[in-house]
Structure 1
Amino acid sequence: MLLTVEFSNRKSLIGVLSIRIGDPILKISLEPLTEHTVADTTTQKESRSCVLGGISLKTYSIAIESGDSLEVGMGFHQELESFFKKPVKYLFLSHTHSDHRNGIDAFKDCTLIASQKCIENMPKRMNFRRWSKEIFDKKFVLEENELSIEFYHVGGHAIGSSIAYFPHEKVLFAGDLFIVGSINFGLPFMSFYQNRPKRTGNPEEYLAAFALFKSMEIEIIVPGHGDLVLNPQEYLDGQISFYNSLKSFFTVMINEGKKLEEIELPRLEPIEQAYRAAENRPQKSRNVRFLENYLHHLKTSFYNYYSEKFAI
């Protein structure tokens, strides 16, 4: 028996893919976080996928992200249903980037949850006309009996970036607002905020999102990439301090008339930690070059925003 899967992402594969039922599907390792939540932080180490997550309500579950490929999406869909013994009814996409959305065709039987800005900023080849959808502007709440999931559009990393918050067990699925640990040296990635027109990230939206998170009861943060955050308040305080320090620095530099190429990033502690990590890894010179290129993109994003090149 063959299962035929049509692709909405026609740039990477054209036509259909036939998969024989019974053939092995990529194994996804879901880690239970709480009674109702799970995450997979392993697949990201073996692919270009993001962290995957799931939430179980009474009669169904919700997939958080679809992964970077159909293979990942299918494995995740199958494992989530097997883990919770419930059908996957919804797929939540935090934003448009390919490492989060390229597995989407594995979830065509689900209702898609995404922000309006996320849908608007999808590549033109992506077609959602036949999808069941819950598209929201600022906030959407999914409820079943006494359990609920809150979805907020926050921006920052991408124009459509949104998060999922499960207040019953104090778990935040934050997407790429947070990149934690060794992935990209734990530094924010802000280079691809919008496709049309192309813009870099919005640090003020990051800070507003952090303020929202500080108002929530959170015990676990599931990032878009990297490690789980089990000390959320301390971690948030560090992120707020880092962004505010960069904001103050760039405001001064720009007011002094400095051009982008004249500015060197201050060696704040997160940047110092990143350099120490790069220098202590194998292939030191390669890692330092990667870090410096990454920091250039971070510098460009802050400069573009605070020099008013961020056109609304």
Structure 2
Amino acid sequence: MITFPCCKINLGLNIVAKRPDGYHNLETVFYPVPLCDALEIKKMDEEFPSSTPIDLKVTGNIVACDETKNLVVRAYHLLAEDYKLPRVHAHLFKRIPMQAGLGGGSADAAYMIRLLDERFRLNMGNTEMERYAAQLGADCAFFIRSEIAYATGIGEALEPADTEKNNLEGYYLVLIKPDVAVSTAEAFAGITPKKPVKCCRDIVRQPIDTWRSELTNDFEKSIFAIHPILATIKEKLYEHGALYAQMSGSGSTIFGIFGQKPTSIEELFPDMFIYSVRL
């Protein structure tokens, strides 16, 4: 059985408070994007010699992680604590860039939970799957439904985000990722938490031509100072006609939203990862 974990962008991202447990509370709107990995599982033959109950093979983009510690493997072991699961072979084909602010690893983990639930008829339901996913990462729960959502807490508290999709249907989205990786620790090091003047959920309900002056990502200021190429990409997207551009999450992908299909993007950003889609 195979599934296709999608990625996400953040429409606004504000770090509003530091928590007693050392984590940070945030406000953001998660928006799913159809740039996908592929994840397949097959039941392992009883006679197959394996020292672990899940045998994972990762192909495609290089993943700087021991496969035994991959979130897909962790998702399997998490469910195996409460459900009787057979041994499985898993194949993960990576297309979503890592450390890019797109949630690729989190998506893989959540879709593994979904896949195990469907394949072995665990009958968990979305709410239960979200509970498990939240234990693996702050934004993992979002990918159980992969629907536009307003997120608070550390990213695990999700609410419907009523009309945001209407703002972007028919627009063109472009993702640009240079050869830059931003770690979560590096991103949070430059943050001073504060409540935004206006909630991002309210801003994205407004016409998109108001977003540039109001919708912000709190990570941009400090990360752009360390990696100025990201600020350059953002400015080039605006110069090329983007109605709105922003860094996604705490990673190094810059996205642009266009009213018409942009041209010459490859010439603007040579040797960078580029993905474009009509929403």
Give the number of the structure with larger relative contact order, counting CA–CA contacts within 8 Å between residues 6 or more apart. Answer: 2
TM-score, normalized by the shorter chain, greater than 0.5: no
> TM-score when scaled to structure 2?
0.32
> TM-score when scaled to structure 1?
0.30
